[in-house]
Amino acid sequence: MKVALWGNTSKPLFWELLPKVAAWMEEKGQELYLTTHIHKRLEDASSYTYSIIEKADDFSDVDFVLAMGGDGTILSAARGVEHRGTPIFGVHLGGLGFLAEGTVENIYTRLEVIVASRYSTFPRVLVEATIEGDSGVTVTSSPLIPPTASLSPPPPAPPPIILLPAGPSWHRGSPSSPSHPSVPIHCRPDPSSFQRTAILP
């Protein structure tokens, strides 16, 4: 498999894990791709075997993106992949998070499942909110295409998130959140369920 690595380079834990993940990929015969952002910050690039993601279209050539960081890292990876549909597998390097299926503790077990192609993907819902003065908030959503679907031709689907098999041994959680099985939940947001929160007084 060709695996693109996207990471939060401001986290020391990312740099601690990078050589271990790269060595695991090489040992398992997987092809590692690094973004130019990571490549430029490597202290000893000669100790790694990898190709470089030089442009956004290169994401079309990989089998999945490994996003290591937090929810923000996964969302930035989704922006990088855009319409290309390359699946994203998120690994949380911190505390509470909602988008990642992996943790530091189970990253290699999860990757074993992925490289064996024993996973499914789950398309995420895109939500757009527009504040219209005192009249309230208008919310639109689409599970398949961005809210700008009025463009012609319409943009393709956003990248899916990798889901691993649910079961007793496939749980995730953190000290601040209860563990729960990784099972997909398909839903369309109800605009009336959104809560408006003032950011500025």
- The domain that contains 171 carries what CATH number? 3.40.50.10330
Per-residue confidence at 176, pLDDT binned at 50, 70, 90?
very low
165 vs 46, higher pLDDT: 46
Closest among 86, 161, 165, 85 to 118, alpha carbons compared: 165
Q: What is the pLDDT of residue 130?
A: 64
What residue numbers bound the domain in which 180 lies?
Answer: 2-125+159-187
pTM of the model: 0.68
Q: Is residue 72 part of a domain?
A: yes
From 11-25, 37-51, 176-190, the region with the lowest mean pLDDT: 176-190
| Range with top average pLDDT, 25-34, 117-126, 151-160 | 25-34
Please list, in sequence order, all residues whose beta carbon lies within 8 angstroms of the beta carbon of residue 153, skipping any fewer than 6 positions away: none
Q: What is the pLDDT of residue 136?
A: 60
Q: Is residue 140 part of a domain?
A: no
Q: Is residue 102 part of a domain?
A: yes
Q: Is residue 136 part of a domain?
A: no
Handedness of CA 70, 161, 85, 150 (dihedral sign): negative
pLDDT, tens digit, 9 for 90 and up, residues 31-58: 999 999 999 999 888 888 999 999 999 9
Structural domain total, the chain: 1
Q: Is residue 201 part of a domain?
A: no
Q: Is the pLDDT of residue 139 over 60?
A: no
Counting Cα atoms < 13 Å in the Cβ hemisphere of 1 gives 21
- Average pLDDT of the segment spanning 17-41: 96
pLDDT, tens digit, 9 for 90 and up, residues 93-108: 987 778 888 899 999 9
Rounded Cα gap, residues 141 and 139, in angstroms: 7
Handedness of CA 22, 25, 27, 31 (dihedral sign): negative
